[in-house]
Amino acid sequence: MSETSPAGPPPLLTSPILPTLLRFALPNMGAMLATALAAIAETRYVGGFGSPALAGMALVFPFVMFQMMLSAGAMGGGVSSAVSRALGAGDPARANALAVHALWIALAAGVVYMVAMLTLGETLLAKLGGQGEALAQAMAYANVAFLGSVFVWLVNTLASVIRGAGNMAVPSVTLFLVALLQVALGGAFGLGWGPFPRLGMAGVAAGSVIAYGAGAAWLWAYLVSGRSRIALRVGATRFQRALFADILRVGAVACISPLQTVLTILILTRLVAQFGTDALAGYGIGTRLEFLLVPIAFAVGVASVPLVGMAIGAGRIARARRAAWTAAALATAILGGLGLIVTVAPDLWTRLFTQDPAVLAAAASYFGWAGPVYGLFGLGLSLYFSSLGAGKAIGPVLAGTLRLVMVAGGGVLLAMWQTPTWTIFALLSAGMAVYGFSSVLFVRFTPWGVEKA
């Protein structure tokens, strides 16, 4: 789609907000749901390997989720924000140069994440409470999955470049196809479909690595080809510290938020692990639904980034705020409805993965507490992305800090008092509620700039 018009301002500065958000969010939602369903398919494959494998997946899942949140949400949001603000200010050459700098950031971050997980992974998983067969299964997955970290970072960063220009179709179709390929290859290598050997957890992980490698190659080719509004001219673009700074001043601060989220999950995982494999497996199934809900909030929130970013670049502060609050209301309504469903009927979800009564009971307890506040969780996540578009990430980061402090402090007390499992899930629920409400307050009272006449 075209982002500029010779006769006037970019269409994203004048188009109706809600219809534009829906038009952007729906393809994003399809792609993000496909990505989440690929992860769910992986969990279903793993469920066939037994409860230790499910417990192992619960151990490694926070680190997989962390990588996705860093690359697609935090740094990706910083990339989209920088590109959209440049276009809103009428500077396409700067937007092109920002795309190249984003590429180098992605390559460096992918290598660092890969090396960190391959060298420290087993120690981290053991400290989470992983032991015996559960730890062995987790490492079988991790040692293959994190070999593809660079591909994950490239896919999500290049997709963010394209989204920053207001084009949601190409990233969405790419991620949808990557998800389909991941499901097919994960099943083929993991379960031994057709002529393929049954490689178990390592095979499931290999499907993801190959799929993201293919996606990275396609997005690179698309941006180099000249078909995009943003041109990726690596050889013709020299390093500029100011451009790295423009991305990192938003993206680097935003990376604190997924770190807080994952630390929160790690604390909760460690608390649940003390109740045994069945409780950990049930909790893991519950957090898999969160992995489905996060992409929905992501789809709505990231749709607001070019709307907010271009408005900020053009000095249209009031319009930027309207876009942020509209996206927040939409995300709250969608996630709140889904949360109500799993609160009332948790087995609709959990029986997709297991029939074990003890695991079903643990998952039902989790959903009874977490489901009612999923809407508030979506509210906070959507405002997080809109704040990235405005280049003002600190508010939602502070909201995440409050949630982390609450869960960490409460977790210490619950461990000391040796309380039952449901109290941990109640703590998780309270943390989500605090995150949503505090995000509203921080965004409301954070200045986003001065309105231009």
At 232-265, the pLDDT tens digits run: 999 899 999 999 999 999 999 999 988 887 788 7
Q: Hey, what amino acid is at 31?
A: A
Closest by CA to 290, choosing from 27, 64, 124, 443, is: 64
Cβ 313 vs Cβ 85: under 8 Å: yes
Cβ 87 vs Cβ 276: under 8 Å: no
Question: What percent of the chain is modeled with pLDDT above 70?
Answer: 97
Distance of alpha carbon 27 from alpha carbon 22, whole angstroms:
9
DSSP one-letter code for 193: -
Q: How far does the chain reach from its first CA to its final CA, in angstroms?
A: 28
- Predicted model pTM: 0.83
Query: How does pLDDT run across 160-189, given as a tens digit for each residue?
Result: 999 999 999 999 999 999 999 999 999 999
Closest by CA to 251, choosing from 150, 159, 155, 388, is: 388
Band (pLDDT 50/70/90 cuts) for residue 291 is: low
Cβ 102 vs Cβ 79: under 8 Å: yes
Residue 385 pLDDT > 90, yes or no? yes
Specify the pLDDT at position 266.
76
Mean of pLDDT values over 9-34 = 87
DSSP one-letter code for 148: G
Chain position carrying tokens 């053991």: 126
Dmax over CA atoms of the chain, in Å, equals 68
Cβ 86 vs Cβ 243: under 8 Å: no
Distance of alpha carbon 348 from alpha carbon 103, whole angstroms:
41
Neighbouring CB atoms inside 10 A of 198's CB total 11
DSSP one-letter code for 90: T
Distance of alpha carbon 114 from alpha carbon 322, whole angstroms:
39
Burial code of 14-36, b = ≥16 C-beta within 10 A, e = fewer? Answer: eeebeebbeebbebbbbbbbbbb
Residue 342 pLDDT > 50, yes or no? yes
Dihedrals phi, psi of 276, to nearest 5 degrees: 105, 175
Q: Hey, what amino acid is at 339?
A: G
Q: Residue 264: CB partners within 8 Å, gap ≥ 6?
A: 403, 404, 407, 408, 431
Chain position carrying tokens 């196809």: 177
Residue 5 pLDDT > 50, yes or no? no
Neighbouring CB atoms inside 10 A of 323's CB total 28
Distances, alpha carbon 257 to alpha carbons 204, 384, 424, in Å: 29, 9, 21
Strand, coil or helix: 8? strand
Structure tokens that stand for 269 in this block? 């995982």
Band (pLDDT 50/70/90 cuts) for residue 1 is: very low
Average pLDDT, the chain: 90
Strand, coil or helix: 5? strand
